Amino acid sequence: MNDPRFRLNPAQAAELVAQFGTPLYVLDEATLRTTMRAYRASFEGRLSFAAKANPASAVLAIAYREGFGIDVASEGELRAALYGGVPAEACTMHGNNKSLAEIQFALSVGIGEIVADNFSELDKFIGLDFSMTRLLLRLAPGVDPITHEKISTGQEDTKFGFSISGGDAERAVKYCLDRGLPLVGIHCHVGSQLLEPSAQIAGGEALARFAVEMLTKYGWRCELLNVGGGLGVRYIHEEPMPIADYCASIVTAVKPILDAAGLDPVLAQEPGRSLVAEAGVTLYTVGAVKLAAGRRYVVVDGGLAENPRPALYGAEYAVERVLSHSDVSNLRPATELTPAPNPLLTGERMGLPTRLSGRHCETDTLIEDVDLPDDIQPGDVLQKLATGAYSSSMASNYNRYPRPATVLIRTTGDFVVIQRAETHDELLAREQVPADLLQTKERS
């Protein structure tokens, strides 16, 4: 089976560890561009990159230069796109609770589209300047995808969008038409990490039927029909449908419904994870190996702070040893060397189930049962595959750990930092301690 996931070779890993240490996010530009071009070759409609997957400004810049628009879900993501040279008119703002300040900022810079999620948002739009911005409605198509419940968004019981079956979607269209809002299209997103297209097809068909109904009832012609994103990636044993087949299946299902009514809207998709996940790895250094209750624990210098997905909903990853401790012993200053490995443990831990754990003050299990060599030792360097999506974008400072750097491997093979590592001074920059609390307490 072909495995297109990017992985570092030992020489690359050694150079990166020597320059930047661990933990470290690494993205491969060639893999990223190859996947984006596969989408462009497979889908004749409009494509946008879902910035939430990885909103590094350099990544958004690459996506835009590969012909993608940028979907943003906050003012921060919009600013990240603008910082990367993406024009505002190429951006679409999502979000189910956009503040008035966010909406006003987006309109002031000339954002291309805003997707309304609820009637409270539509009320905020009245009187605002939409002269440079088009409006879409996010609809809930009542589709329950085969994926984890935490990343299912298109079912009837959801916080997202106007319900089609409940009548809110129709009322929202009428609301916009009655008030002269520049409604041009409809949108849905049924969920993420979809390994086959049935849910997205069902969502697209529901939108197409709704568009036909609105044409019949109100004469409103849908100009843009966005079926969302969601194609899955390879983490462990998954085998998602090829991009070309996935795109073709959606178009084949949706177009006949529209054609029969004389509608010809632009079809749109907004992939995120499937563009960037397999282009990234995260490097970790093993800090401890221990035995407990018939299990081997391998503990690394990262965890839920720089990738909370395993803790949030049991996400699984493949991990490989890319360098042994002897390979990296000459890469670090003497003060950073890990303790010497204990050769007495090697025989005892052969064949034991292994749990890859993080350094945080939680159970912090990164991988429950991981296949690592019996001779794994402190100082070994591991790479976790397919971490290009939803790792750095969801990172936190739990336990006051600074967030890692992100390094991009250019198509020339050069390394360039696109997000530098945080410092401890930056972690404390927001702190303000009242003066009286800083007074030295006298000991009794």
Catalytic residues: 361
Which amino acid is residue 428, in one-letter code?
L
Residue 406 · residue 56 · CB < 8 Å: yes
